[in-house]
């Protein structure tokens, strides 16, 4: 790490502004972080620092370390914790809020893009309830790898900027290391921020927040008549949510806690808790072991996304012109969802044109994968090598139901004959969208277990692969494979 003067530190280079301070004080409290003891960098992410226009050296230095550890922040930085509510597992909780997260504000990055930078694990806030305001190292690594994996797959998400370890201990099932995750997103405003004010009957602040979100993030809506803007905002959020969940479904990502307080109004993936990537295709895959009613299992996500949009519609209803809007929203959500999902699957299948039978082709494929206990990611990766002149042993090795696979491959072959693309060209295109590395559970667990023992090698290697998931790296085949039985 470079020992630099404070003038090289991220704080001095970036231009900061905390947008929360433009809202009435009902929305947030200014809270100073509680620094961790003896902090050290575990990782600095050059992919995201580049988005901020920061070089690796400008991020990886002593002054920046202490800045992100929240040590004596300069007066121009006023960290905020915001208040929100949320439907958790379908049940409304009237008050939640940033219990272990502080917003340092927005930094102006490359091409004038703005990113809200947050510290996760920065100590108690007025919204910590009975919890400790800290982030255990294992959770921080989960979020770091989860968010970078989605970004690698080009799925909208918050990003990880850097990770700090420390000598501070936090108690969970066992005593573990306290970490600080520095994360960034275009915004961390959640459906739950609207719900908090609506369910309190504070419609003035619902209006303030609506105006704020439009001005900050949907400026194109300022061209709409004033009274229609909240409806247009809702429609835009519905579209982004439907598209986000379609992206998750196409890559087998299961968030695990799709509560309204974890839903971004910008359609980014937020808050990585018990998430998981589906390996063997199984629509009932659940990533969250405490989700007893299977509310958030893989195949429920599209419907839950729609349910959450209706909760948001209710939270904005005081500003909407008519009570009949939810029915329209429902249609809108499903339309966007199906369009995006099919578009994504066509790309994964190497289809450039559209055909009316494509929905059926996908449906039969999913049944085939399920009945054949097939690994989802590996199947698409190997499908790029499908060759009608060949017996395709690599594909058949992935299924326990060869007859079913053979029937689907016949359909696929017929469909490909309408495409007029050379097999080489199709293979190239498919390998650009079908990852060879996905964040498999055993790889994630190994990274966390090793990190908790102070060995970050597995974490670094996995991160590097997930940030380039479409490239086959020499000697790294182990990372593409499901866990091998002993
Ligand atoms: P999450 O499951 O991380 O989305 O958190 C749900 C709610 O609990 C949010 O309001 C968090 O801020 C809060 N929370 C979770 N863990 C902690 C913690 N260790 N300390 C304080 N608040 C927390
Ligand atoms: Mg959350």
Closest CA to 148 of 480, 479, 375, 462: 462
Strand partners, 80: 30, 103
Q: pLDDT value at position 327?
A: 86
Question: From the alpha carbon of 125, which atom of ligand 1 is closest?
Answer: 21
Q: What are phi and psi of 218, to 5 degrees?
A: -130, 55
Strand partners, 135: 179
DSSP state of 6: G
Provide residues with CB under 6 Å of ligand 1.
Answer: 96-100, 128, 131-134, 257, 262, 271, 273
Angle, helices 191-199/203-217, rounded to nearest 10 degrees: 160
Q: pLDDT value at position 2?
A: 59
pLDDT tier for residue 3 given thresholds of 50, 70 and 90: low
Does the structure show a pLDDT above 60 at 4?
no
Q: If you average pLDDT over residues 441-447, what whole number do you get?
A: 98
The domain limits of the chain are 6-185, 200-344, 350-486
Ligand 1 test: best mutation among 33, 128, 180, 287, most atoms within 8 Å of CB? 128
Q: If you average pLDDT over residues 432-452, what whole number do you get?
A: 98
- Considering the chain, what percentage of its residues have pLDDT values greater than 70? 98
Does the structure show a pLDDT above 70 at 138?
yes
d(CA 378, CA 279): 9
> Which among 261, 268, 271, 375 is annotated as catalytic?
261
Q: If you average pLDDT over residues 418-441, what whole number do you get?
A: 96
Question: From the alpha carbon of 262, which atom of ligand 1 is closest?
Answer: 4
The 3-class secondary structure across 187-214, one letter per residue, is CCCEHHHHHHHHHCCCHHHHHHHHHHHH
Alpha helices in 350-456 (DSSP H): 358-371, 376-383, 393-396, 402-416, 423-431, 441-452
- Mean pLDDT, the chain, integer: 95
For residues 56 and 47, the answer to whether their CB atoms sit within 8 Å is: no
Ligand 1 test: best mutation among 29, 88, 89, 100, most atoms within 8 Å of CB? 100
How far is ligand 1, taken at its centre, from the CA of residue 128, in Å? 7
Ligand 1 test: best mutation among 131, 262, 291, most atoms within 8 Å of CB? 131
Does the structure show a pLDDT above 60 at 279?
yes
How far is ligand 2, taken at its centre, from the CA of residue 190, in Å? 9
Task: Take atom 4 of ligand 1 and give the residue whose Cα is closest.
Answer: 271
Per residue in 404-417, pLDDT tens? 999 999 999 999 99
Q: Which residue has the higher pLDDT, 268 or 5?
A: 268
How far is ligand 1, taken at its centre, from the CA of residue 1, in Å? 32
How far is ligand 2, taken at its centre, from the CA of residue 271, in Å? 5
Q: pLDDT value at position 154?
A: 98
Per residue in 212-234, pLDDT tens? 999 999 999 999 999 999 999 99
d(CA 252, CA 440): 11
Going by C-beta distance under 8 Å and a sequence separation of 6 or more, which residues neighbour residue 112? none
Q: pLDDT value at position 322?
A: 83
Angle, helices 301-316/203-217, rounded to nearest 10 degrees: 120
Closest CA to 93 of 14, 165, 217, 200: 200
pLDDT tier for residue 8 given thresholds of 50, 70 and 90: low
The least confident of 145-154, 322-331, 336-345, 437-446 is 322-331
Q: pLDDT value at position 388?
A: 86
For the question of residue 299 being annotated catalytic, the response is no
Q: If you average pLDDT over residues 240-258, what whole number do you get?
A: 98
d(CA 231, CA 218): 13
Per residue in 27-47, pLDDT tens? 999 999 999 999 999 999 999
Q: Which residue has the higher pLDDT, 83 or 7?
A: 83
d(CA 39, CA 168): 9
Hey, what long-range contacts does 286-294 have (CB within 8 A, 24 or more apart)? 286/254, 286/256, 287/254, 287/255, 287/256, 288/256, 288/257, 291/89, 291/256, 293/89
d(CA 163, CA 240): 29
Does the structure show a pLDDT above 90 at 67?
yes
Residue 53, helix vs strand vs coil:
coil
Token code pair at residue 355: 């055909």
Per residue in 310-357, pLDDT tens? 999 999 999 998 877 788 898 999 999 999 999 999 999 999 999 999
CA of 411: how far to CAs of 77, 248, 281, in Å? 60, 26, 20
DSSP state of 437: -
Q: pLDDT value at position 7?
A: 63
Q: pLDDT value at position 367?
A: 98
Q: pLDDT value at position 5?
A: 57
Task: Take atom 13 of ligand 1 and give the residue whose Cα is closest.
Answer: 99
Closest CA to 57 of 89, 10, 124: 10
Q: pLDDT value at position 14?
A: 82
Question: From the alpha carbon of 133, which atom of ligand 1 is closest?
Answer: 20
How far is ligand 1, taken at its centre, from the CA of residue 132, in Å? 9
Place of tokens 């309408």: 418
């Amino acid at each position: 790490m470079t020992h630099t003067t404070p003038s090289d530190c991220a704080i001095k280079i970036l231009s900061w502004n905390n947008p929360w301070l433009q809202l009435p004080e009902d929305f947030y409290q200014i809270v100073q972080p509680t620094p961790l003891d003896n902090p050290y960098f575990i990782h600095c992410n050059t992919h995201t620092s580049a988005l901020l226009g920061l070089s690796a050296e400008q991020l990886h230095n002593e002054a920046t370390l202490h800045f992100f550890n929240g040590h004596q922040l300069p007066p121009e930085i006023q960290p905020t914790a915001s208040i929100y509510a949320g439907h958790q597992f379908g049940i409304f909780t009237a008050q939640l809020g940033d219990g272990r997260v502080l917003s340092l504000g927005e930094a102006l990055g490359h091409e004038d893009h703005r990113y809200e930078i947050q510290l996760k694990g920065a100590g108690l806030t007025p919204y910590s309830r009975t919890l400790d305001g800290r982030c255990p190292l294992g959770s921080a690594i989960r979020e770091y790898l989860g968010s970078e994996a989605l970004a690698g797959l080009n799925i909208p998400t918050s990003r990880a900027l850097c990770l700090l370890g420390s000598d501070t201990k936090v108690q969970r099932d066992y005593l573990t290391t306290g970490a600080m995750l520095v994360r960034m997103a275009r915004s961390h405003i959640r459906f739950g921020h609207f719900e908090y004010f609506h369910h309190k009957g504070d419609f003035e602040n619902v209006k303030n927040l609506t105006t704020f979100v439009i001005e900050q993030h949907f400026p194109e809506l300022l061209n709409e008549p004033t009274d229609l803007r909240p409806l247009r905002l809702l429609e835009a959020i519905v579209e982004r949510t439907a598209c986000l969940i379609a992206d998750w479904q196409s890559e087998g990502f299961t968030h695990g806690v799709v509560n309204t307080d974890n839903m971004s109004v910008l359609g980014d993936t937020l808050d990585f808790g018990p998430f998981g990537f589906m390996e063997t295709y199984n629509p009932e895959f659940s990533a969250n072991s405490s989700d007893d009613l299977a509310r958030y299992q893989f195949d429920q996500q599209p419907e839950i996304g729609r349910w959450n949009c209706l909760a948001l519609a209710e939270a904005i209803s005081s500003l909407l012109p008519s009570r009949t809007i939810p029915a329209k929203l429902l249609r809108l959500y499903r339309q966007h969802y199906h369009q995006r999902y099919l578009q994504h699957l066509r790309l994964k299948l190497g289809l450039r044109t559209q055909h009316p039978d494509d929905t059926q082709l996908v449906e039969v494929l999913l049944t085939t994968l399920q009945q054949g206990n097939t690994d989802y990611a590996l199947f698409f990766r190997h499908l790029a090598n499908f060759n009608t002149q060949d017996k395709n042993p690599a594909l058949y090795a992935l299924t326990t139901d060869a007859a079913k696979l053979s029937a689907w491959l016949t359909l696929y072959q017929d469909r490909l004959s309408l495409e007029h693309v050379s097999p080489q060209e199709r293979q190239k295109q498919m390998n650009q969208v079908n990852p060879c590395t996905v964040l498999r559970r055993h790889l994630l667990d190994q990274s966390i277990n090793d990190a908790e023992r102070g060995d970050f090698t597995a974490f670094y290697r996995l991160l590097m692969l997930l940030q380039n998931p479409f490239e086959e790296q020499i000697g790294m085949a182990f990372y593409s494979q499901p866990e091998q039985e002993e």
